[in-house]
Amino acid sequence: MSEHKETRSTCCYCGVGCGVLISSDGEQITGVRGDPEHPANFGRLCSKGSQLHLTSTPLVQAQRRLQQPMLRHQRTDALTATDWDTSIAYVAQRIHRCVQEHGPDSIGFYVSGQLLTEDYFLFNKLARGLIGTNQIDSNSRLCMSSAVAGYKQSLGSDAPPCNYEDLDHADLVLIIGANPAYAHPVLYRRLEAARAKRPQMKLVVVDPRRTDSAQDADLHLAIKPGTDVALLNGLLHICFWEGWIQADWIAAHTSGFDALRDSVRHCTPEQTAAICGVSADDIYQLARWFAQSPASLSLYCQGLNQSSAGTAKNSALINLHLVTAQIGRAGAGPFSLTGQPNAMGGRETGSMANLLCGHRNLNSAEDRAEVTEFWGIPELPAQAGTTAVDMFEAARSGKIRILWIVCTNPAHSLPSQAQVRAALEAAELVIVQEAFRDTATCAYADVLLPAASWGEKEGTVTNSERRISRVRAAIAPAGMAKPDWWIASRIGQAIQAQMQEKQALRLDYPSSQEIWNEHRALTRGRDLDITGLSYALLEQEPQQWPCPEGQTTGKARLYTDFQFAHADGKARLICTPYQPAIDKINARTPFILSGGRLRDHWHGMSRTGVNPAAFAHQPEPLLEMHPQDMAARFLKDGDMVSLRNARGQQIWRIRANPALRSGMLWLPMHWGEEYVWGCSGDIRNLGANTLASPALDPQSFQPELKFASVQLQKQEFP
């Protein structure tokens, strides 16, 4: 019998980034508990985190894990098991040949916020440094890119200024476009505890649904979906009209005031109330509380980000913080929550088509030169790559010929599923690097590369408050699985062997620690300078960035001196005119389809789907509709309905939910085609976002996943 041990690591689900202690017997993970010393959770775990060990039981490892490389030379063939040498040589040879024949931009890398920072870093080096393409983008494009663009254009840097402790100091917490009671549960417990200690704290929730978070609120504004910018501009109008602004502070620390004030002159409470479908009194109340509270904190997530106006929504909210000087103090600031465990790490390593490592910008010649010199290569490509949705469109049209998909499931999660699947079929070679072997995307793979999973790999992740934590291996990877960085390193070296001009580029690393050291060296002098954060220091205590060399503690809050990251030190007030969602509601498609997370499931359920307890809360996918809308269509709970728009058709079982606005439908994001219960016949549901709009925010290129117009009909089965 091997010895029992506990390994300190981090939960692999949401962006709260809770510390965990993994129990193992040396061969198997036997339990998990919250790390009482981790500053993100102080020992607490939610229903997902506390059951993490159930996702790597021997049965799951045997039945669901991808344990060895699989390969097929023809699409018509079945995948057959192979070894690492064969699969590495095959992938390297196909990529090299494709680059020679069609150029570097014929290769597309679609990576994931589930990756560790070291994995991200190496895939960037492989794509940009070795192959010479910026065709690398992350599934974080679907969740965080509007927050990135909003922070950058308003404050000058992609840096959330707040931290979790701010919940203990806030007098008003505004939750807008987020449901942390389900999506960030441990953070929400912290908010509940803070309210219990300080009953004067106000909680306001802006959400079209009366979510669990909204039910606890002092004020809930159930705005019409997609009208957030109108509401935020209306709040600004009231602040200007009532004089609830900090004029001296605005003059000293911001630019663009006159234009912003002029742009919201027409946004009266009455007009705002009409657009948003809530009362003018409630809007007034929120404006008063926000401006007059000693410290106002806003928490926001996908409800703002997943929109064709996502960047505008982010900047409109930051405008409100700036004109009321609710920033740079304990308990005050715009705090964007990250969905995935390491969406922040992706931003830090530049794992999006328009970014570069160390918070550099691809369109800056100076930034490119710094990275080029550091890596010892002749040049980096300057042309931005295609972003997530467009990457698959490029594969469908033949511009991208090889797709390498790492730790994500686009055949479930991207909008316009029919086109995504057509892209996967059109690509000459689809490489899927995964821990689980039965995702919808795995079915399209020509090469399956087994990746190490949670509890099996070493590295770091950054949570929503810029806090970097170590992720550590408690057991060896299942079967022949390898860390994601190892796979990138080995295939990169095999490609490099055929490219004489790139011999100086280092791709050979003995450990994740050496990759981390290179990553942090590349942040020297940048806003996220982490040159002081060695693995040894992080193992003592997770730290927030920045933390330059010579320091041992990161920075808890940003902009406390009101020096913002734009060249003039001022924050920018951005005019954000309200634009309705791209899809239109009309007689043919009269309903707005939105969606989101359930409490106990995660993404496409490749992990939570193996845990029967995770289905206790809601065992099957149910489309929710307001009871009056159901009665008007003679629908009752349990009926099957068909949803349809130009992008496709789906069939779901329906149930009444009075927490929704009339005219709205809501669907959990977790179920894909393999999980449709109770329906038979010819129609097969594809991924959850089949009907979602592919409309993109023009700055962040984030798709509009929260607003699709659909038609609904009762589905009769023989």
List residues near ligand SF4 by CB under 6 A. Answer: 11, 13-14, 16-18, 41, 45-46, 48-49, 184-186
Cis peptide before 36 (omega within 30 of 0): no
The distance from CA 360 to its chain's CA centroid, rounded to whole angstroms, is: 20
373's enclosing H/E stretch is helix 365-375
DSSP secondary structure, 242-279, as one string: HT-S-HHHHHHHEE-HHHHHHHTTT--HHHHHHHHTS-
Q: How far is the CB of 478 from ligand SF4 (least distance, A)?
A: 21
Instruction: Name the residue nearer to ligand SF4 (CB basis): 48 or 128.
Output: 48
Q: How far is the CB of 454 from ligand SF4 (least distance, A)?
A: 10
72 token code pair: 């097929």
Exposure string for 417-440, b = 16+ CB within 10 A, e = fewer: bebbbebbebbbbbbbbbbbbebb
Q: How far is the CB of 210 from ligand SF4 (least distance, A)?
A: 22
Instruction: Name the residue nearer to ligand SF4 (CB basis): 48 or 670.
Output: 48
Instruction: Name the residue nearer to ligand SF4 (CB basis): 68 or 464.
Output: 464
Instruction: Name the residue nearer to ligand SF4 (CB basis): 557 or 597.
Output: 597
The 3-state secondary structure of 315-329, one letter per residue = HHHHHHHHHCCCCCE
Q: How far is the CB of 448 from ligand SF4 (least distance, A)?
A: 27
634's enclosing H/E stretch is none
Q: How far is the CB of 488 from ligand SF4 (least distance, A)?
A: 25
**Which one, of 136, 153, 142, 310, lies nearest residue 698 by Cα?**
310
Residue 167 exposure: Cα atoms within 13 Å on the Cβ side: 20
d(CA 432, CA 448): 5
Instruction: Name the residue nearer to ligand SF4 (CB basis): 122 or 183.
Output: 183
DSSP state of 130: I
CB atoms closer than 10 angstroms to residue 335: 25
539 token code pair: 């193992």
Q: How far is the CB of 52 from ligand SF4 (least distance, A)?
A: 8
Residue 656: phi and psi, rounded to 5, are -80, 140
Instruction: Name the residue nearer to ligand SF4 (CB basis): 46 or 581.
Output: 46
Which residue has its beta carbon closest to ligand SF4? Answer: 49
Instruction: Name the residue nearer to ligand SF4 (CB basis): 18 or 286.
Output: 18
**Which one, of 153, 141, 152, lies nearest residue 576 by Cα?**
153
In terms of residues, how long is the chain? Answer: 718
Q: How far is the CB of 114 from ligand SF4 (least distance, A)?
A: 12
Q: How far is the CB of 20 from ligand SF4 (least distance, A)?
A: 7
Q: How far is the CB of 60 from ligand SF4 (least distance, A)?
A: 18
* Cβ–Cβ < 8 Å for 203, 191: yes
Instruction: Name the residue nearer to ligand SF4 (CB basis): 17 or 69.
Output: 17
Instruction: Name the residue nearer to ligand SF4 (CB basis): 386 or 464.
Output: 464
